[in-house]
Chains A and B, each alone.
Chain A
Amino acid sequence: MRIDRLDLLGYGPFRDRSLSLGSGFHLVYGANEAGKSTTLRALSSLFFGFPKHGEDAYLVGTADMALGARITSADGRTLEFVRRRRGKSPLTMADGSVLSDELLSAFLGGLSRESFERLFSLDPARLRRHGQDLLNDGGALGQGLVEAGAGIVNLRKKLEVLSARKRELFLPTGKNPAINRILARLGEIRRDSRLRTVSPQDYLREEEEIRRLADASEGIRSEVLRLERGIRRAERILRILPRRQEYETLCRELSLLEGVPLLPPDSFALRVQAESWLATGRVELDRLREEAEGLEQDRAALADSPAELLREEEIAVIEKDLGAASKSLTDLPRREQELFSMEQEARLLLRECGLPEEPQTLDRHLPPPGKRRKIASLLDRRSALEGSFQVAGKNAAKAQAALTRAEAGRGELPPVPETGALEAILSGAEVFLARSEERSRQSSELLRRRDALAGRLHSLGLGEVTLPALRALVLPERSTLLRMQEDFRRLLHEEKEVRDALVRLEQERKKREDRIASLEGEGEVVTFADLKAVRERRDAGWGLLRKRFLEGDQSLESDLRLFFPEGRGPAEGFEGLLRESDRVADLIGRRSKEAIELSLLHKERDLARAEGQALEKDLRSTRDRLAQLSSEWIGQWPEGLVRLGPEGAPDRLPEAMVEWLEKRERVLAEGELIERLEAEQAEDHRAETELTDSLRKALAPLDPDPAGERTLPGLLVRARKIMENAKERQGRHTSAEETFRLAFRQSEEAREALREVERELELWKGEFGKAGLEAKLLLPEDPEEIRDLLEILTRLEMLGRSMTEMRDRIGKMREDIRHFGDQVALISGEADQRSTPEEMLGKAREIIRRFREAREAFVRRQELEKREEEICLRRGRQEEILDQSRRLLEGLASEAGVEDPSALPEIEGRSRTKAALLGRREEVIRQVLESGEGESLEALFADCGEANSDEINGRLTAMREDLESARERRESLLAALVAKKTDLDRRLEAFQAVDLLQEAEVERARLSGQVESYLEASILEGILRKGIDLFRERNQGPVLSRAGKILERLTLGRYRGLRGDFGEKGDALLLVVREDGRSLETRELSDGTLDALYLALRLASVGRHNETGEPVPFVADDLLLNLDNRRSLKALEVLSEMGAQGQVLFFTHHAHMVELAREAVPAGILRIHEL
């Protein structure tokens, strides 16, 4: 597939941009940011869809991104389509119909995005990384081929990742990998599970032991019980023995008190209390009677005065007002004096203001406060206005002075010269001069190129030849070239074949001669020819003998002597021949195999000789034809360019001359470029002269000091200075004009401000006069006097208020005194009598005193009456108590069976003794029964029998010791039993194998997951390794051979090729063959060579892909940055060859790469596109 046209309809910085491509080598040049990388991404997006995040959507929106293309497949089918980001059908054909992904994929040969992006495109960074990978992989051939063939990075590391994953999961002898850990845990669980299982045998054994312990414990328990019973009985007897004795004594004492009545327990206390109440009751009655008499007397002594008490409310009023009335009487004269003083002061002030001296009617004469405040505020305003007037005056004077200064300054400035004509020329001259550095660089570049061209002209081998001569050379047509190239190839091939055949013949001959020599050297191997020869000689000898001796032909005597030359006679000689022929026949019979071989070898020798002669003849004929062709070939070229070599062939064959012709083309192109540059240089020179002249003319009227300057830079310096000078003067003029305008405006503003203040002052005067009239005041001129007047008026206003208050108070006091006097008169019944205030106060005080006395007497009588009632009640109660006590004593006596209560104390004593004895006997019985465990008193006393407490104590000690020991034994048995049972319970309940069973199952489930992971890693690794081997097997031959040739070119012949070999461990290794035939491993190569090696492998893989499948364009992104120019040229040549067979898109933003491409790529296939 090749791209005929790429449409950047809306992508990155492009909108409706088309690149016309087609087969060949396309160099896409663009400066930084021109959209080179975007165009590269566009290719991927075009064929495989837009990436999810539209990073190239900055000119059009993400939704409007669109790319299109026209592509042609290897078999000539074409497809024109558009891919949009938006819409249900992103792919559409030129006619608007939907294009399926499958159809597009078929044009790409089913290539994936990854393969396209990795195999068919390359940039310098990846080139370097891949080169390093070749080194890191240790030169593994398979990996190297796959990395180059599939564009995968660092295959070794990926294999290592899989191995590491496996190692993390499982190692046959490891402990830490996950699977090993789980397996170990499973083992632990299995062992633990065995320990936790309680087998039936175990269980029975444990149960038997428990039963035995329980039985033993039970035996000891009955012994303990028996002992405890014995001890309890002995202890009981010990407790009952003293009780039995006491019981008998009590019984005896009680029989003595048989007739004594048992009085109730409280009879004694009752009697004592009744007697005590009788005594105290009598004393109390006497005291109460005396007190009642005393009270009667006190009451009779109190006086009666009810009249005073009836007027209680009226007297309370006088009592309340008495204090206030007496204070008013004291304060009144002082207040009246204060009022008088105030009136005096008011009169003085009124006089000062010129107002009537009438303090009582002050309100009427004073001006209202609002008017006074207005006058005060007008006074303040006047001071402010006067201040403003002074400031405005000063400002106006200052502005006028500034205006005068500005006017003078304007008049002093020099005039501005006229520079319009000069300015027009100057800008052109500046631009011209700015390029002067570049021109000088171009000029030196031109010189360098001229030198280089001379060298290259010389290197063409035509001696001192000029460009036109080179251009005019008569050279063979291309068809002739091709034809003769073919002829040369054929002839040289024929010659080589004949030479090879001769060499082969010679080798065979040597081998054969050796064999013959070895066979013949043994002396025992003869050929049939030998036999035939020997026999022929024998027969010939016989013929001679027969003819000479049997037929008697004497003439044969000399022949005979010649035939049998030895000293022996003919007979002996003939016998010798007979023996010889027999021997030879024998030898053939014995060594027939060797004989046959030797015969064949002789025959072969003859045949080979004939073949050799034929070949020699062929060789000569071929060489003749070659010489003829060579002379024709030499004749095609200018004299001396092609010469006859020592071998009879020309020193430069057609391949070399094709290169020569290409080199000539490049030299001619360079020559044309130089000529064009020279023309440009001349044009520049002319322009410079013109500019200089016009500049000088324009300067003449302006320059006061020409100093004979002729050069353009010098003139420019002067012109710039004059222009600057003129500009500076113009600036000063503008600035002075601006200053004057500003000063004028400020002076006008200041004068206007002064006038404004004067107007305000006039207005104030009118307003002030009006305020004086309104206040009805005759205002003085001096503002200070006006302020004093205003202060007096304020003081008068305050005095007026104080006097009014004082008058009100005095009036009130007089009214209070009068009212009090009326009340006192009313109470004392002297309403019509007039008395002085002092008399009135005395009367009031007397009335109050009398009322208080009457009230106290009344209260005292009431208290006494209440006390008499209380005493009467208490006397009644005492008499009742005396009665009750007497009746109680009588009742007690009758109960004790006596008539006189005084006999009671004795009977009570005996009754108490009897009751105590009875109580004690009950207690003894209770104690005995308590320790008797339900037995009757009689039985318990009987159980004691005639027992002796010492003997019982002895028995008791022995029994207690026995019991202690039995208990100890039992406790230890019980402890053992409990421990045994607990252990068994624990083993049966808490510590169960079933728990581990589930845990083992969980571990097995986890193990299953890990095994799956291991299997996955193992399979992935297996597929990858097998894939690498298969890839190597299939591609090793063609790719290595092709890559070797490319490497040879890229390294300028330093390396001759590539080969595969097996390393020490039997792994396939990639080796590089050096110029001298030595093979190197990748680790012996420099970085640059590694890059070249990877590039060679990659280009070979691409070539192989394009041969075996649908070809795809190769995209290089500034690929040759790391290579020097010579290598870059070679690489460009290789790429241009790829381009000649398909399509190469070479992106660059380096201008020199364009030049290199022009040099390396034949013009017929090179297309340059600028972004």
Chain B
Amino acid sequence: MKFFHAADIHLDSPLRSLALEDPGQLSRIRRATREAFSALVDRAIEEKVSLLLLAGDLYDHDNPNMQVVHFLRRELSRLADHAIRVVIIRGNHDAANRISRYLDLPSNTTVLSDQLPERVILKEYGVAVTGQSFAPGKVSQNLALAYPPPQPGHFNIALLHTSLSGSPDHDVYAPCTLLDLASRGYDYWALGHIHKREILSSDPAVVFPGNLQGRHAKETGPKGAMLAETDGVRLTALDFVPLDVVRWHQLPVDISGLVEVRGLIGPLREGLEAAKRESDGRPAAVRVILIGRASLPGSFLDSPEQVRQLVLEVAAEVSLEDLWIERVRLDFLQGEVIGGEGADADFSLILSEVARDPETLAAALEGDLSLLRRALPEELREELDSSAILADPARLLPVLMDLLYRGEAP
């Protein structure tokens, strides 16, 4: 029999940091996580799988809205129409979710208990699925240790939402080691929580399928679910099936040694074309990062807006429809702009001195910025306070010099 293993669907979670101007683009991603889930259901029907495993975090947040319930019920019913069983555990994001209470599950679907490990046996295929949902609150105990011994004479699958031994990008939940899992005697550990796809072991199979749809610029590359097959004794096939609607990319462009702006366009175009190609017909959301030591002439790099415009123009040349620039990050080292020993009567040196004293400057700006801060939503307040240019105002000096001396014949 064939089965699908997916996790971290995060239904209705929005895609981050995309400052899209075109309403058409917005409409393409409004329901990206739902569309990815529908694609999973379509593919399950098409592949004639017998079982779908969802290893936690089906919902993104606890917002009692019957629209998502309605959507989920419809999709699960489509699976039921094709006699596909669904086994779900709850993860840290949906453990306390009240939506589940209003969800009349179709007969094909089982949500495993959050009190004890629970087992579902699919007799006709000789497959046993064991797992335990997260209870509301922080789950810091090693749940895997309490899983019962495997069902004799069956292909045993274990469902678990876990951070394993820890990952810097994810909070710690149900921690355990790979050895803990490998020693339990199960044939397939269907894990969830870590958004990056990874096959940690092949015998037994220990698999994180990653999330179904990348949600920000750090969740790059193809996203989807694992399609597995068993003969009731061992795993006979394991393949990744991409199901994402939008694909994220990070494009580092090294600008070291470039002596003219034109030199930047070539690598940029190549990178963007590759991103478009690798997105396989989906929109590609790209974060462009300029790195290296800058030696470009003039003040081109001093104007982030000018750099951004250039990137947008090249992107539009590569594809008008399917290439979206999420952000252009300038991560390069800039040459010393103002230097030399001079008199304290030199105004540019005084400006440099002011810019290199962020605390004093921040105090001077406090009155100005506090009004803005008060008006902003919470998360942007934090972003404002941790802004890089506030910590290092000296990087704005070239812009200031340009403003002071631009367009003025000496």
B355 in contact with A197 (CB, 8 Å): no
Count contacts on B: residues with CB < 8 A to the other chain: 70
Q: A110-B342, A1001-B14, A1004-B380 are in contact. Are A1016 and B399 (CB under 8 A)?
A: yes
- CA gap between A166 and B368 in the complex, in Å: 10
In the assembled complex, A158 has its CB within 8 A of some CB on chain B? yes
A999 in contact with B347 (CB, 8 Å): no
B396 in contact with A1023 (CB, 8 Å): yes
B-binding segment of A688-696, A747-755, A1026-1034, A1082-1090: A1026-1034
B-binding segment of A198-206, A398-406, A709-717, A720-728: A198-206
A1002 in contact with B26 (CB, 8 Å): yes
Query: Which of chain B's residues have a CB closer than 8 A to the CB of A199?
Result: 64-66
Query: Which of chain B's residues have a CB closer than 8 A to the CB of A218?
Result: none
A-binding segment of B17-25, B126-134, B151-159, B266-274: B17-25
Which of A115, A998, A1001, A1016 interacts with B346 by CB under 8 Å? Answer: A115
A-binding segment of B86-94, B184-192, B225-233, B384-392: B384-392
The count of A-to-B residue pairs whose CB atoms sit within 8 angstroms is 214
- CA gap between A199 and B345 in the complex, in Å: 68
B-binding segment of A146-154, A468-476, A604-612, A767-775: A146-154
B64 in contact with A109 (CB, 8 Å): no
Which secondary structure dominates chain B's binding surface? helix
Interface residues as binary, A114-134 with B (CB distance below 8 Å gives 1, 0 otherwise): 110110010000000000000
B365 in contact with A1018 (CB, 8 Å): yes
In the assembled complex, A938 has its CB within 8 A of some CB on chain B? no
Which of B16, B29, B67, B351 interacts with A1023 by CB under 8 Å? Answer: B351
In the assembled complex, A1019 has its CB within 8 A of some CB on chain B? yes
B-binding segment of A495-503, A634-642, A672-680, A985-993: A985-993
- CA gap between A1008 and B372 in the complex, in Å: 12
Q: Chain B: which residue is nearest A169 at the CB level? A: B372
Which of B14, B31, B345, B377 interacts with A1034 by CB under 8 Å? Answer: B345
Query: Which of chain B's residues have a CB closer than 8 A to the CB of A166?
Result: 368
Query: Which of chain A's residues have a CB closer than 8 A to the CB of B67?
Result: 197-198, 987-989, 992-994
A1016 in contact with B31 (CB, 8 Å): no
CB distance from B343 to the nearest CB of A (A): 3
In the assembled complex, B34 has its CB within 8 A of some CB on chain A? yes
B66 in contact with A1004 (CB, 8 Å): no
In the assembled complex, B354 has its CB within 8 A of some CB on chain A? yes
Query: Which of chain B's residues have a CB closer than 8 A to the CB of A204?
Result: 102
Query: Which of chain A's residues have a CB closer than 8 A to the CB of B405?
Result: 114, 118, 152
In the assembled complex, A230 has its CB within 8 A of some CB on chain B? no
- CA gap between A988 and B387 in the complex, in Å: 40
Interface residues as binary, A1035-1056 with B (CB distance below 8 Å gives 1, 0 otherwise): 1000100000000000000000
Query: Which of chain B's residues have a CB closer than 8 A to the CB of A121?
Result: 410
- CA gap between A204 and B102 in the complex, in Å: 9
In the assembled complex, B375 has its CB within 8 A of some CB on chain A? yes
In the assembled complex, B340 has its CB within 8 A of some CB on chain A? yes
In the assembled complex, A995 has its CB within 8 A of some CB on chain B? yes
Q: A988-B70, A1002-B18, A1016-B389 are in contact. Are A1011 and B380 (CB under 8 A)?
A: yes
- CA gap between A1034 and B26 in the complex, in Å: 55
Interface residues as binary, B34-76 with A (CB distance below 8 Å gives 1, 0 otherwise): 1000000000000000000000000000011111101000000
Query: Which of chain B's residues have a CB closer than 8 A to the CB of A114?
Result: 348, 401, 405, 410
Q: Chain B: which residue is nearest A153 at the CB level? A: B408
CB distance from B67 to the nearest CB of A (A): 5
Which of B30, B369, B377, B404 interacts with A999 by CB under 8 Å? Answer: B30
Query: Which of chain B's residues have a CB closer than 8 A to the CB of A197?
Result: 63, 65, 67
In the assembled complex, A54 has its CB within 8 A of some CB on chain B? no
Q: Chain A: which residue is nearest B23 at the CB level? A: A999
A994 in contact with B30 (CB, 8 Å): yes
A1108 in contact with B399 (CB, 8 Å): no
B64 in contact with A200 (CB, 8 Å): yes
- CA gap between A999 and B399 in the complex, in Å: 33
A1014 in contact with B66 (CB, 8 Å): no
In the assembled complex, B259 has its CB within 8 A of some CB on chain A? no
Q: A152-B404, A1011-B380 are in contact. Are A109 and B19 (CB under 8 A)?
A: no
CB distance from B72 to the nearest CB of A (A): 12
CB distance from B21 to the nearest CB of A (A): 8
Q: Chain B: which residue is nearest A40 at the CB level? A: B410
- CA gap between A1105 and B67 in the complex, in Å: 73
CB interface residues, A 1110-1149, toward B, < 8 Å: 1110
A170 in contact with B34 (CB, 8 Å): no
In the assembled complex, B393 has its CB within 8 A of some CB on chain A? yes
Query: Which of chain A's residues have a CB closer than 8 A to the CB of B15?
Result: 998, 1001
Q: Chain B: which residue is nearest A180 at the CB level? A: B375
Query: Which of chain A's residues have a CB closer than 8 A to the CB of B371?
Result: 172
In the assembled complex, B376 has its CB within 8 A of some CB on chain A? yes
CB distance from A904 to the nearest CB of B (A): 76
CB interface residues, B 348-383, toward A, < 8 Å: 348, 350-351, 353-355, 360-361, 364-365, 368-369, 371-372, 375-377, 379-380, 383
A1108 in contact with B344 (CB, 8 Å): yes
Q: Chain B: which residue is nearest A200 at the CB level? A: B102
Query: Which of chain A's residues have a CB closer than 8 A to the CB of B400?
Result: 1020, 1023-1024
Q: Chain B: which residue is nearest A1012 at the CB level? A: B387
Query: Which of chain A's residues have a CB closer than 8 A to the CB of B342?
Result: 109-111, 1109-1110
- CA gap between A1022 and B390 in the complex, in Å: 11
A1015 in contact with B369 (CB, 8 Å): yes
Query: Which of chain A's residues have a CB closer than 8 A to the CB of B340?
Result: 105-106, 109-111
A1022 in contact with B364 (CB, 8 Å): yes
Q: A153-B408, A1030-B350 are in contact. Are A1015 and B403 (CB under 8 A)?
A: no
In the assembled complex, A1000 has its CB within 8 A of some CB on chain B? yes
- CA gap between A718 and B14 in the complex, in Å: 107
B350 in contact with A1031 (CB, 8 Å): yes
Q: A198-B67, A1019-B389, A1027-B354 are in contact. Are A1001 and B365 (CB under 8 A)?
A: no
- CA gap between A1006 and B348 in the complex, in Å: 33
B368 in contact with A1018 (CB, 8 Å): yes
Q: Chain A: which residue is nearest B341 at the CB level? A: A110
In the assembled complex, A997 has its CB within 8 A of some CB on chain B? yes
Q: A1022-B364, A1104-B343 are in contact. Are A1030 and B30 (CB under 8 A)?
A: no
B365 in contact with A997 (CB, 8 Å): no
A1002 in contact with B19 (CB, 8 Å): yes
Q: Chain B: which residue is nearest A1027 at the CB level? A: B351
Q: Chain A: which residue is nearest B101 at the CB level? A: A200
- CA gap between A112 and B340 in the complex, in Å: 9
CB distance from A693 to the nearest CB of B (A): 61
A170 in contact with B66 (CB, 8 Å): no
CB interface residues, B 248-297, toward A, < 8 Å: none
- CA gap between A950 and B331 in the complex, in Å: 100
In the assembled complex, A306 has its CB within 8 A of some CB on chain B? no
Q: A109-B342, A115-B346, A993-B67 are in contact. Are A1019 and B396 (CB under 8 A)?
A: yes
Query: Which of chain A's residues have a CB closer than 8 A to the CB of B14?
Result: 997-998, 1000-1001
CB interface residues, B 315-343, toward A, < 8 Å: 338-343
Query: Which of chain A's residues have a CB closer than 8 A to the CB of B102?
Result: 200, 203-204
CB distance from A600 to the nearest CB of B (A): 49
In the assembled complex, A161 has its CB within 8 A of some CB on chain B? yes
A186 in contact with B377 (CB, 8 Å): yes
Q: A172-B375, A1035-B345 are in contact. Are A200 and B34 (CB under 8 A)?
A: no
Which of B338, B339, B354, B375 interacts with A179 by CB under 8 Å? Answer: B375
User: Please, could you name 25 A-B residue pairs with CB atoms under 8 Å apart, sorted by A?
Assistant: A109-B343, A112-B338, A149-B345, A150-B347, A152-B347, A166-B368, A199-B64, A199-B65, A202-B66, A994-B68, A995-B30, A998-B29, A998-B32, A1002-B18, A1023-B397, A1026-B360, A1030-B350, A1030-B354, A1034-B350, A1035-B345, A1101-B345, A1105-B346, A1109-B341, A1109-B342, A1109-B346
Besides the known contacts A994-B12, A1015-B384, A1027-B354, 11 further A-B residue pairs in the complex with CB atoms under 8 A apart? A110-B340, A110-B342, A197-B67, A200-B101, A993-B63, A995-B30, A1001-B18, A1004-B377, A1022-B361, A1105-B343, A1109-B343
Q: Which 10 A-B pairs have the closest CB atoms?
A: A110-B340, A117-B410, A1109-B343, A150-B347, A1108-B343, A1001-B14, A1005-B19, A203-B66, A1006-B19, A198-B66
